[in-house]
Amino acid sequence: MQALRGVRASFAGARKSWRAFLDERRTLKWTLSALVWLPLAIFVTEYGVNIKAVRGRSMQPTLNPDDSAWKDIVLFDSFSIRLAQQYNRGDIVALKSPTDSKLIVKRIVALEGDVVKTLPPYPDAEVRVPKGHAWVEGDEPFRTEDSNRFGPVPLGLVQSRLAFILWPWERIGPLGKPLVPRHDARIGSPDWRRSKAELEREQWRQSRVTIAQTPPQPEQSAN
């Protein structure tokens, strides 16, 4: 018992000495703290969630609509892309541009195996998305640099998926379904007209894509 008390006293003394040592050397203390927390912060940013301000008009009216006085601030989910590798048609994603490596925000329109009816200035009327690639477009086709200019993009360039709008306050929330199918939507209201236009754009995008058929799984013979 006496020996245990001695060990505890020695440990407490060593801890006090270490704290006093760090208090006298604040630069070292901050350096050690950074070494502990910086890797965690990098991991959360790269593989967790991060906040970005969306610039430009290529994703209008979904993002940065003309009737908003603010730039959209949004939450991007990196986990579902970097670790889970979940790529879905219709998702809005942040990716590196294949032309100059700058970060751009676009919508996944088609995935590998899908056939897309392209828009000008793409040279071919239709293109089949190759394996490991996606076809991305801006929601505003006349103000966007997307796959209709640089073609299908490797999935490795996709970094994160838009999960939530944080600002402006009147549009805070996840990107939801259009209001038109809802029975409680007030027909003729500004929200109803906006949602109806959104639904029509989505239907137009889907009409341009022939989704690849999933090959049937071979039946396993019983032993």
> Which residues are the active-site residues?
58, 106
Backbone region of residue 56 per phi and psi (left: phi > 0; alpha: psi in -120 to 50; beta: other values): left
Residue 6 parent element (H or E): helix 2-24
Is residue 112 a contact partner of residue 130, using CB atoms and an 8 Å limit? yes
As a whole number of angstroms, the distance between CA 218 and CA 124 comes to 35
What amino acid occupies position 191?
D
Backbone region of residue 187 per phi and psi (left: phi > 0; alpha: psi in -120 to 50; beta: other values): beta
As a whole number of angstroms, the distance between CA 132 and CA 154 comes to 6
